[in-house]
Structure 1
Amino acid sequence: MFKTAHESFDLRPKLFFLLIAIFAISACKEKQEKSEKAVVLNISPDNEGINVPDGFGVIKVADSLGAPRHIAVNSNGGIYLKLRKPIDGEGIIYLEDQDGDGIADAKKGFADYGGTGMYLDKNYLYASSDEEIFRYKLDASGEVTNTNAPDTLVDKLVSYRTHATKSFTMDGDGNIYVNIGAYSNACQETDRTLGSPGVMPCSILDSAGGIWQFRADKMKQSYAEGKRYATGLRNVVGLDWNFKLNKLVVTQHGRDQLNTLYPDLFDQKTSANLPAETMYVINEGDDAGWPYIYYDQFQNKKILSPEYGGDGKKTAGENAIDPIATFPAHMAPNDLLFYNGEQFPEEYKNGAFIAFHGSWNRAPEKQKGYMVAFVPFKNGEPSGEWQVFADGFAGLEEVSSPSEAEHRPTGLAQGPDGSLYVSDDAGGTLFRIVYGKK
């Protein structure tokens, strides 16, 4: 006996499963739409008063943070900030944005020491005091697990009142490069004193005024376990390892007070505009020439320092390296970041962002800096003139004294999405600059 067509091809089960599939797809789509709505970034309508190029926006991630210096951002977007001075026994702050709007809504802290330097790799958070480099183990989500018991990698570094902070970076091969700033303006017999001659040779250079290299897998290294990688650098607060070049790149704070110390050789205007702030590519063994020379960006020459017989015209430093880029005097480049993200337009790829903290000794001229600059790079070297990228941090058009500035850029970090974070140690604010977000 044969079955009818109706009996042989019952469509009801197929219709049932089809309806379930349609319902599941609809639910998935609704969930995705809700998720997309939830991650809309809360970009400030006025960009927090900061001027950025067309297409960019600014988010105020957090404020009232104290004096945040350098920054590190983990792969989940969690943000570590090093405070110059601890607040309530916490010198490192960890911020999280849990709802995806760009504004931090969770905060905790640890580490009872101040400082500036901070670095993050896949396994560890590294942070510096003015005498030590510490290492904290990270868990799978990029959070520190041993907040009360970090490893001490380096200790007993020279630390005096002048240029005490220890900025550092790493090269991906387990080497740490630490700036040990010179505790002097120009290595005079009596620092910052009218007419005091320079010490020859400068005794400071045995333990400061350069970059020292240490290992990331050894404990409690001192000068004896490390090595002086480069010398003749007055104070390098901004430094980064350029992985395209596979070399260290630094930005130096130039010397101060040419007019104050040598009024017969330099007038106030000249002193306000000299010497250049400089960027160097550093190879092991390099000497950048401090304190014996400074770089004059108008003459494009290395000039003999007056403490050592210079008159503003005599050249010197034939064996000292030349800068790869120069900037106006006294703007204080406090951090350097080579951008390798995908969010910003192609022109920014592999270029250098620099956080300029702002000047203090250009009087009676107006102070300068208080902004983030950008230097385009191609084939491992600058491919054009430096440009202002983000300005207006000071909150006023003319700055007579740094105490007037509302914000002073100090640290830079790249987020996992390619956005740029900027810390401010005057207003205690953390900014995030994004591109193409509505």
Structure 2
Amino acid sequence: MKMIFKPLAIGFACASMLLGGCQDKEDEKETIPQNEYEPTFTKVTGYVFKPAIVPASDENVNKLNKPQGFTVNKFAEGGGKFRMLAVSSTGVVYATDREAGTLTMFRDINADGKADERQVVATRQNMHGITIYNNTMYMVTAREVLSAAINSNGTLGGLQILMTDLPDAGQHNNRTIAFGPDGLMYISIGSTCNACEESNKENATLVRANPDGTNRKIFAKGLRNMIGFGWHPQTKELWGMDHGIDWLGDEDQKEELNKIAQGADYGWPYIYGEGKFYPQLAPPGDTTYQQYLAKTTLPLLTYEAHSAPLGMIFYTGSTFPPEYQNDAFVAMRGSWNRKQPSGYKIVRLHFENGQPTQFQDFVGSFLVNDNKGQFARITGITVHTDGSLLVADDSNGVIYRIAYSGQ
């Protein structure tokens, strides 16, 4: 079994040109300057730890922790690195494979909770985010947005190009797409880097456009890589999970749950977490960290650092117990940038009176062998028409089905 475990000690200690030199004494107190003419000092220790891939055997699947009355089975398997999921009104399941550039259709013909048929229905380089709106499939790649009519047998009509000019992807090419209660198209565009000043103002944002791709504008900014987002079924408020900055230590940056409001700035790259200052990059011009913090919208909740939230879906099915209705589920793909792994599980985001109150473990983890191995890095998540949850995996190429039996 191959395992990567590398400790990397990283120190950030930079003085201004006026002061000269760099501070590197471990016993000095961390300092964050008011401006670029004052010294910055902080110390960070980082790790690389990637659990080895092991088979998604029935034995491993059966060991998954889950609430009483729930079952987990393989809806589909047999190759691919599945990312985002969507389900049509007739129960046809679709999954993207970014690496292969494909969109695959799955059908459970005999309704036994397992796919009987699979077929590639579209091909496009870097195919990632998908959503269905008015019986039309919308797809987003690193630079393009496309649409296609859904035929009666689940296949797609010809691809129509709606956009070709999304900004360069860089480090985060995981574009996702959804339609809001307002009937408009929302596209999440990640940053090109871990933490930097972007040259394209659309990077690290959520943009909004008409269904035909016209009138694209920035809706919210300062979002490093918000892959999973959605609207609460009752309040219609928009919520999203943003990925934290890497190389800030095991416990930073925590993953953020944000209420996404039009025109809001969520701080990246200068402000992170519950209002902390990023030590390597000062706000532009004469703006101080404190001034930037004052105009930053902070998260409502945070989750364990480096867990890597991918898909997020609000539960509106009819088969889970009533207390799960209108809660959200988040697929935590799992860490690589901390000593002890985090994520590798599905978590429930509980809401009360339309507001989030806490994260709870739901299904997982997909770690085995004393956390040295993993059999799934879960990505997309959606609600099937039968009320079950479907969760994709881009490690062993499995789509899992989580159902409630009541027993």
Q: Cα distance 1:105–1:283, how it changes in 2: closer, same or farther (>3 A)?
A: same
Matches within 5 A, 1:322-333: 322-333=298-309
1:175 Cα deviation (Å)?
Answer: 0.9
Structure 2 residue 131 is the aligned partner of structure 1 residue 119: yes
1:309 Cα deviation (Å)?
Answer: 5.4
Match of 1:336 among 312, 315, 325: 312
Matches within 5 A, 1:148-187: 149-187=158-196
Paired letter, 1:398 = N
Match of 1:282 among 260, 266, 269: 260
Match of 1:131 among 134, 143, 146: 143
1:382 Cα deviation (Å)?
Answer: 1.1
Whole-angstrom CA distance in 1 between matches of 2:61 and 2:319: 18
Whole-angstrom CA distance in 2 between matches of 1:405 and 1:321: 35
Q: What's 1:359 paired with?
A: 335
1:120 is paired with a residue of what secondary structure? strand
Q: What's 1:379 paired with?
A: 353
Structure 2 unmatched ranges of 5 or more: 1-57, 284-288
Whole-angstrom CA distance in 1 between matches of 2:106 and 2:98: 17
Give deviations 1:281-324, integer Å, cap 9, x for gaps: 111101000001111xxxxx3011102359xxx86611111212
Q: What's 1:100 paired with?
A: 111
Which structure has the larger Rg? 1
Whole-angstrom CA distance in 2 between matches of 1:97 and 1:163: 33
Q: What's 1:368 paired with?
A: 342
1:308 is paired with a residue of what secondary structure? coil
Matches within 5 A, 1:207-356: 207-216=202-211, 218-219=212-213, 221=214, 225-258=215-248, 271-295=249-273, 301-308=274-281, 317-356=293-332
Preserved CA contact (<8 Å) 2:181 2:236: no
Structure 1 unmatched ranges of 5 or more: 1-43, 188-201, 259-270, 296-300
1:46 Cα deviation (Å)?
Answer: 7.6
Preserved CA contact (<8 Å) 1:48 1:60: no
2:275 is paired with a residue of what secondary structure? strand
Paired letter, 2:251 = N
1:368 Cα deviation (Å)?
Answer: 1.0
Paired letter, 2:205 = G
Q: What's 1:388 paired with?
A: 361
Q: Which has the higher contact order (CA 8 A, sep 6+)?
A: 2
Whole-angstrom CA distance in 2 between matches of 1:212 and 1:256: 24
1:411 is paired with a residue of what secondary structure? strand
Whole-angstrom CA distance in 2 between matches of 1:288 and 1:61: 37
1:153 Cα deviation (Å)?
Answer: 2.0
Tell me the TM-score normalized by structure 2. 0.80
1:64 Cα deviation (Å)?
Answer: 2.1
1:306 is paired with a residue of what secondary structure? coil
Preserved CA contact (<8 Å) 1:170 1:241: no
Paired letter, 2:208 = Q
Whole-angstrom CA distance in 1 between matches of 2:64 and 2:159: 37
2:250 is paired with a residue of what secondary structure? helix
1:100 is paired with a residue of what secondary structure? coil
Preserved CA contact (<8 Å) 1:347 1:376: no
Deviates most, 246-255 or 204-213: 204-213
1:323 is paired with a residue of what secondary structure? coil
Q: What's 1:197 paired with?
A: none
2:280 is paired with a residue of what secondary structure? helix
1:280 Cα deviation (Å)?
Answer: 0.8
1:117 Cα deviation (Å)?
Answer: 0.6
Q: Cα distance 1:65–1:75, how it changes in 2: closer, same or farther (>3 A)?
A: farther
1:119 is paired with a residue of what secondary structure? strand
Whole-angstrom CA distance in 2 between matches of 1:121 and 1:418: 19
2:323 is paired with a residue of what secondary structure? helix
1:405 Cα deviation (Å)?
Answer: 2.0
Whole-angstrom CA distance in 1 between matches of 2:79 and 2:85: 13
Whole-angstrom CA distance in 2 between matches of 1:145 and 1:134: 12
The aligned length equals 343
1:167 Cα deviation (Å)?
Answer: 1.0
Whole-angstrom CA distance in 2 between matches of 1:65 and 1:73: 20
Whole-angstrom CA distance in 1 between matches of 2:295 and 2:77: 46
Q: Which has the higher strand share?
A: 2
1:140 Cα deviation (Å)?
Answer: 4.5
Q: Which has the higher helix share?
A: 1
Preserved CA contact (<8 Å) 1:49 1:395: no
Q: Cα distance 1:309–1:382, how it changes in 2: closer, same or farther (>3 A)?
A: same
1:67 is paired with a residue of what secondary structure? coil
Whole-angstrom CA distance in 2 between matches of 1:144 and 1:247: 33
Whole-angstrom CA distance in 2 between matches of 1:123 and 1:309: 46
Preserved CA contact (<8 Å) 2:122 2:156: no
Preserved CA contact (<8 Å) 2:255 2:308: yes
Preserved CA contact (<8 Å) 2:104 2:121: yes
1:412 Cα deviation (Å)?
Answer: 0.4
Q: What's 1:63 paired with?
A: 77
